[in-house]
Structure 1
């Protein structure tokens, strides 16, 4: 958006990012302090002009058109959003999450424990760090186009411009974006690959904080899953692909089939935790996102696991390579290569456990008191 202004009127040149949007949507993107009532009045009285002609709120704009806007019109008590000054540590924290960055999108690897957006008693969140990617006054502020739960880690897409935000939002709402999650669950599903089709609704009495399966009034929710590997009968590693986007969908669906996500006490209760040294944090990770890119082609992003998830994978003898090549590429590893990888992972885990036993023995020996040489001293009389 390019603008020229005077004491009488303001003139804006419609940019490529705003090509094809409605006039009222243009105002919401670029002059949000002006209300819809004012826009309608200006259009009705001919004060808004597009290339010199009258325009209606529902008219669609074309890149390069010149938009004439009268002065004033700001809603009483409403001010344009002020940029938040970030500390050096906050800027470094935001930059550390970046997987890729181009003129249309920033792809982040959101850590577990960091909320996507603010809310009641939530002051630290990804949305609050986005000013780190728009340091100049004229830089458009990046916008979130989807979200992850606070305790879910992984790929989070942020749009750089209003135009790319609209483009990506249409892909998410149209279900053309492909999202693959990794989850570690308690127990092993009997059916190794399938679809969970269970409608979800807000659970009464939880204030909307919790969802549950509701076959009568719930909204349709569908998840594909595949068991990548298992650790005996105690745990399994799943690939999850949500085909709908309901709140807490993957967490509720895993619990619904009797295999809650490891560390998800909200839905799995005490049964969601494994014994031993396995972390009590939730083991759900947005591993990969594939979505159309505004500049043609595909945006294909993969996020590394957080440390607690990676350590549990190693502890259970799971090899990350067993998943990445097969579920999305369509020409994954053969059964022989899978078996070889699995055997190598088990051997590695065995060596790690052996090394840990050696460490425990040496620590135990060091902690034992040494026996004094010679005869014990007699008791004092």
Structure 2
């Protein structure tokens, strides 16, 4: 733990910048973690990274001296353990997320979230505040469930974020998933329709073939890629994008996603040794129908990764 007093030269600067300047050998990841755990105080009050300090402020930084002086952080803080970069340019970043990490802070938040790790990655590159507005931070354009792996788009500036959100809303960015499900599909290709009701208290959804009160219509399109040992590999396209839609809809028709602890069954998952649900957002297609402003160069672009499923053969 160290305490520093803000000087006249440091006055009117954000506290995160002051800490980086005061401890240049400290890994940025350690500072992000300290703010996340509320281990930084100004005049005895916990503050966030964007707190603007004034001359004479007392800053208490509850980080070990070894780390402040540049000792390496643990392997658990290595961003490569959580995501790999699949595509990057000046406007956007597309990462391939591992299962088990939340994309943003939630009530079950782990030590690190994807967006925090992305900020750390860009901070190490010196790009975190590259946008015209110093207040903008690279932002998620969509979400994935904690235990779903795959591609996530992050906007690096406000202009790109506005365009990407609109293109996603207008279905001009197509998202494709692969999953492993139990059993042989009745058809090699099908567009499924049903109704979904969300139960916030139980953090799950329920599917029915007729519309109950408060339900939303859902459409899930799948294509069989392969079949072996009573396991089907599917490509799935979400026509509607509701909470847990793929997992719940496929379970509803009798083909639960392997490894899904919420909508699947332990009798299937345990023998296969599936630690995470076998669902991966593996392909993005930028299918722009109209003008995309500064992102027009992405029209027609496809980004694709290989899903990382890990199950035993039976």
TM-score w.r.t. length of structure 2? 0.66
In the alignment, what sits opposite 2:172? 176
Please say if residues 99 and 107 of structure 1, whose CA atoms lie closer than 8 Å, have aligned partners that are also in contact. Answer: yes
User: C-alpha distance in 2, partners of 1:114/1:209?
Assistant: 17
User: C-alpha distance in 2, partners of 1:179/1:153?
Assistant: 13
In the alignment, what sits opposite 2:90? 103
Task: Determine if the alignment matches structure 1 residue 298 to structure 2 residue 300.
Answer: yes
Aligned pair partner of 1:93 in 69, 77, 80:
80
User: C-alpha distance in 1, partners of 2:84/2:51?
Assistant: 24
Higher relative contact order (CA 8 A, sep 6+): 2
Residue 190 of structure 2 aligns to a residue in which SS?
A: strand
In the alignment, what sits opposite 2:115? 127
Task: Determine if the alignment matches structure 1 residue 213 to structure 2 residue 207.
Answer: yes
CA deviations 1:24-68 (Å, max 9, x no partner) are: xxxxxxxxxxxxxxxxxxxxxxxxxxxxxxxxxxxxxxxxxxxxx
CA deviations 1:165-199 (Å, max 9, x no partner) are: 11111111111211111110011121221011112
Q: CA deviation at 1:270?
A: 2.4
In the alignment, what sits opposite 1:192? 188
Task: Determine if the alignment matches structure 1 residue 245 to structure 2 residue 241.
Answer: yes
RMSD across aligned positions (CA):
3.0
Please say if residues 79 and 117 of structure 2, whose CA atoms lie closer than 8 Å, have aligned partners that are also in contact. Answer: no
Unaligned runs of 5+ in 2: 1-46, 53-62, 132-136
Task: Determine if the alignment matches structure 1 residue 225 to structure 2 residue 222.
Answer: yes
Residue 163 of structure 2 aligns to a residue in which SS?
A: helix
Task: Determine if the alignment matches structure 1 residue 139 to structure 2 residue 109.
Answer: no
Unaligned runs of 5+ in 1: 1-77, 317-381
User: C-alpha distance in 2, partners of 1:246/1:82?
Assistant: 36
Aligned pair partner of 2:264 in 268, 273, 285:
268
Mark the CA change 1:109 to 1:79 in structure 2 (over 3 Å): closer, same or farther: closer
Matched residue count: 231
CA deviations 1:62-113 (Å, max 9, x no partner) are: xxxxxxxxxxxxxxxx988469x99866464389521111011101000010
Mark the CA change 1:305 to 1:162 in structure 2 (over 3 Å): closer, same or farther: same
Residue 277 of structure 2 aligns to a residue in which SS?
A: coil
The structure where helix makes up a greater share of residues is: 1
User: C-alpha distance in 2, partners of 1:137/1:279?
Assistant: 37
Larger Rg: 1
The structure where strand makes up a greater share of residues is: 2
Residue 262 of structure 2 aligns to a residue in which SS?
A: helix
User: C-alpha distance in 1, partners of 2:51/2:278?
Assistant: 37
User: C-alpha distance in 2, partners of 1:246/1:111?
Assistant: 21
Mark the CA change 1:168 to 1:186 in structure 2 (over 3 Å): closer, same or farther: same
Please say if residues 219 and 239 of structure 2, whose CA atoms lie closer than 8 Å, have aligned partners that are also in contact. Answer: yes
